[in-house]
Amino acid sequence: MISKILVPSDGSIIAQKAANYAIYLAKQLKASIVALSVVDERSFTAPPVPASETAMNAAEPITDFLREAAEAYVKAIKVLCDESGVESFISIRMGHPVEEIAKEAKRSKVNLMVMGSHGRSALAATFLGSVSYGVIHNNKHIPILIVRG
């Protein structure tokens, strides 16, 4: 029986479509939603620059901005859940999205993941780093429902 659904979101239109689908499904099944957004730490790694050539704490505002964006993504899902009468929880993690999604699924003890996908081929996903592709191939225990764009 499905009682808890994980919905990872990067704020894209496809992720929003997956969230809407998950909320509809959760309402039908009387399940709850765990809305997750992962701040990808790789997005602000750069080659080393001498300290004399950088602004003080330059990385801090970038991480703050990315965290605020992630909070907005999951809060938008929470609002939709509240409007639909679906119980929801939010989670924001820092790290590699594929790994953090798997960790949150285990931590929250979800029965299903609902994710959006751009529908790239396996070859394109390998080079472009598709998160849904990575989650599908690294997850062996939790069913995953992919919503295409």
pLDDT digits (tens, 9 = 90+) for 88-137: 999 999 999 999 999 999 999 999 999 998 765 555 544 445 888 888 88
pLDDT at 136: 85
pLDDT at 51: 53
**63/8: higher pLDDT:** 8
pLDDT at 128: 47
| Coil, strand or helix at 55 | coil
Whether pLDDT at 53 is above 70: no
Beta bridge partners of 128: none
Q: Which of 38-52, 56-70, 73-87, 128-142 has the lowest mean pLDDT?
A: 38-52
Beta bridge partners of 89: 34
In percent, how much of the chain has pLDDT > 90? 63
DSSP label of 104? H
Specify whether the backbone of 64 is left (phi greater than 0), alpha (psi in -120 to 50) or beta.
alpha
Average pLDDT score over residue span 3-11: 96
The answer to whether the CB of 34 falls within 8 A of the CB of 88 is yes
pLDDT at 46: 52
Dist. CA 122–CA 24, nearest whole Å: 29
Give alpha helix (H) positions in 49-121: 59-84, 97-108
**Average pLDDT, whole number, for the chain?**
85
Q: How many C-beta atoms surround the C-beta of residue 55 within 10 A?
A: 8
pLDDT at 57: 53
